Amino acid sequence: MRIVIALGGNALLHRGESPDAAVQAANIDRVTTAIAALAHEHQIVITHGNGPQIGLLAVESAADPVLNTPYPLDLLGAQTQGMIGSMLARTLHDALPRRRIAALVTHTLVRADDPAFEHPTKFVGQVYPYDIATLLARKRGWHVAADTTGWRRVVPSPAPERIIETQTVHELLGSGTLVICAGGGGVPVTADHDTGALTGAEAVVDKDLTAALLAEDLKADFLLILTDVPCVYAGYRTPGQRPLLGATPAELRRGGFADGSMGPKAEAAARFVERTGGLAAIGALDAAYEIVHGRSGTLVRPDLPVA
């Protein structure tokens, strides 16, 4: 099978952990263990989140006295693709010594008039207490919003229209290469209507929605979304919480999942299954092999046709 794997930000940096490079490198070992077994049997494309990493770079850029203005989010996103892609490529190279590995900096086309630019919702960076978050918002012109454990910066997250380098990824897969791409949703760009020239956008594209689009364009058989919970839960964190071991796109959409956590993952899985007739699944990183073989996670299958 051809499998697109979307790694949540927790795969590299767990909540509350120091964002040091050594901490992230240690967490990468879990990623390698989870993916290597699948890579022996299937064609693999990996994409990943970058919320903690791009937030850290943005803080550093804003505080750098040498800069007249901070680096824009599109270039910071490119930096995270290179950094995280390198970490993944090196560890996978060691785990799969006879496999070709390529980490690509890729660009995701978005619409310049996407309403998301006026309504920031994408969490990036670390969690702050309310007073510090509001102080930073005033000082740096940020938008902030409540997260599950505090307050974080939010930035625009326009919908992905197309991954510019999809054909390159397709050709690499055809040569037997394991590809790492579209990290952090890809570098967001808009295209000039007349010339097609690309311009970076001040945004962070949702990596799960980009993964679904990438999987569709690559004609993947399976979209695997890995996160920090074993499956999707109905009534999450309520007395009536229960695991959803299987669902259709329609059932997922009726779940009312939060935009800042399971919502984009559920929507990405639903879109891929609806548009391709393939399978998607959401589950824990450590259970990647078991999820693909139907022994763990939430399997998302096509709606049955009406008789």
Q: Nearest to residue 262, comparing CAs of 90, 270, 177, 139?
A: 270
C-alpha angle 155-158-163 in degrees, rounded to nearest 5:
120
Q: What is the pLDDT of residues 137-174, one digit of tens each?
A: 998 889 999 987 899 999 999 999 999 999 999 999 99
Catalytic site includes residue 9: yes
Confidence check: pLDDT of 129 > 70: yes
* Predicted pLDDT at 305: 59
Q: Nearest to residue 110, comparing CAs of 215, 9, 206, 8?
A: 206
State the average pLDDT over residues 30-41.
88
Catalytic site includes residue 219: no
DSSP structure string for the chain: -EEEEEE-GGGT--TT----HHHHHHHHHHHHHHHHHHHTTSEEEEEE--HHHHHHHHHHHHH-TT-SSPPPHHHHHHHHHHHHHHHHHHHHHHHSTTSEEEE---EEE--TT-GGGGS--EEEEEEE-HHHHHHHHHHHT-EEEE-SSSEEEEE--PPP-EETTHHHHHHHHHTTEEEE--GGG-EEEEE-TTT--EEE-SS---HHHHHHHHHHHTT-SEEEEEESSSSEEETTTSTT-EEESEE-HHHHHTT---TTTHHHHHHHHHHHHHHHS-EEEEEEGGGHHHHHTTSSSEEE-PPPPP-
Range in 180-184, 256-260, 302-306 the model is least confident about? 302-306
Q: Nearest to residue 242, comparing CAs of 227, 251, 231, 250?
A: 231
Confidence check: pLDDT of 41 > 80: yes
State the average pLDDT over residues 97-124.
94
CA distances, 289 to each of 108, 122, 130, 232 (Å): 29, 29, 40, 17
- The one catalytic residue among 10, 50, 255, 278: 10
Confidence check: pLDDT of 307 > 50: no
State the average pLDDT over residues 86-105.
94
CB atoms within 10 A of CB 41: 12
Confidence check: pLDDT of 196 > 50: yes
CA-CA-CA-CA torsion sign (277, 283, 287, 290): negative
Amino acid at 182: A
Q: What is the pLDDT of residues 281-293, one digit of tens each?
A: 999 988 999 999 9
State the average pLDDT over residues 89-117.
95
Catalytic site includes residue 139: no
State the average pLDDT over residues 287-301.
94
Confidence check: pLDDT of 306 > 60: no
State the average pLDDT over residues 117-128.
89
pTM, rounded to two decimals: 0.92
Q: Tokens 């919003």 correspond to what residue?
A: 145
Which residue did the predictor score with more confidence, 254 or 197?
Answer: 197
- The one catalytic residue among 184, 186, 265, 297: 265
* Predicted pLDDT at 57: 93
φ/ψ of residue 151, rounded to 5: -125, 140
* Predicted pLDDT at 147: 84
When pLDDT is cut at 50, 70 and 90, the band that residue 218 belongs to is very high
Catalytic site includes residue 207: yes
When pLDDT is cut at 50, 70 and 90, the band that residue 105 belongs to is very high
Q: Nearest to residue 108, comparing CAs of 218, 197, 182?
A: 182
When pLDDT is cut at 50, 70 and 90, the band that residue 223 belongs to is very high
Q: How many CA atoms lie within 13 A of 181 on its CB side?
A: 29
When pLDDT is cut at 50, 70 and 90, the band that residue 304 belongs to is low
When pLDDT is cut at 50, 70 and 90, the band that residue 10 belongs to is low
Tokens of 254: 């009726």
State the average pLDDT over residues 181-185.
96
Percent of the chain with pLDDT over 90: 71
Please list the residues that pair with 300 across neighbouring strands. Answer: 247, 280
End-to-end CA distance of the chain: 30
C-alpha to C-alpha distance for 153 and 151, rounded to whole angstroms: 7
- The one catalytic residue among 55, 122, 185, 297: 122
State the average pLDDT over residues 204-224.
96
Confidence check: pLDDT of 276 > 70: yes
* Predicted pLDDT at 124: 86
- The one catalytic residue among 85, 185, 186, 207: 207
